[in-house]
Structure 1
């Protein structure tokens, strides 16, 4: 029955931008493997040097100490895969917190490029790049405000134009009112120009140069 159907909850995917996240994971794992190799070199080289060198004095004690540490190596290296798995999981979670905002940023910019200025970047509590997303949203708010002001001024210009076009009075009688309407038209045009001048274009209007 429809009333008993459970609403499906979308599964959370940690691979939002797979290529970027795999690169981050590969970089972290590469650094971890490199660190492990240097650690192994620093661990084995002194011990092997002690075992195979004829050191005077307390060489027996040193050799016994070296044997002891070498006997413990299996316990040390058992923990290495566990640590690598844990770091890999943490790297995937961290990359998700970076890739998620980048994915939403990409979608938002595509919508803006299509003329939809109502879009905003919505970031979750633990996402990174919050400062960047907040600044971009503030920029979009200002941009939308400029365009809204321009559209309002344009509406006023169109109303004045329609009013002037509908006049049927003689020129002498309509002159004072016509002057007032023209003044309103001039003010609205000035507001429109001021609002639109807030934008920087890649080429001046009317130059015939396509935007970059």
Structure 2
């Protein structure tokens, strides 16, 4: 029996949504990080304008900032990616299920109704489709 994957579906929509999230995380991070390092290193490059004792005081702070960035950014990325995965599953999952169940209805199983979870984004749409199927079944009988 094939194991069910909890948060991923084989949907282009979900992959596109996750790529958008990753791009939205990386772009500002790289831009702000690049600007920050440019500022810091341009100040260090102008060391002659900064007295040696000030530079020695700044060095531990720079090391702490680097440690924070190296440990904090991946954690934030993973948390945001996980959140995006859950949100994309709430959208792409019902669409995938909707397509499969609609195919079964089109094959002749007119008693079938489309089911989605209570909090799925397409719940109102699916409820309307099910009401339409109920009316069509009433007309057929």
- If the length of structure 2 is used for normalisation, what is the TM-score? 0.75
Does the 8 Å contact 2:102/2:114 carry over to 1? no
2:34 is the counterpart of 1:27: no
Q: Are 2:50 and 1:83 aligned?
A: no
User: Is 1:108 the equivalent of 2:101?
Assistant: yes
More helix by share: 2
- List alignment gaps of at least 5 residues for structure 1: 1-7, 149-212
Match of 1:139 among 126, 129, 132: 132
Relative distance call for 1:44 and 1:146 in structure 2 (3 A) is same
Highest Rg: 1 or 2?
1
Match of 2:62 among 55, 70, 81: 70
Q: CA RMSD in A?
A: 3.0
TM-score, with normalisation over the residues of structure 1? 0.53
In structure 2, runs of 5+ residues without a counterpart are none
Query: What's the offset of the Cα at 1:137?
Result: 1.5
Q: CA 1:12 to 1:47, structure 2 compared with 1: closer, same or farther past 3 Å?
A: same
Which string of whole-angstrom CA distances, capped at 9 and with x for unpartnered residues, describes residues 85-126 of structure 1? 222222222222222211111012212322332222211133
How many corresponding residue pairs? 138
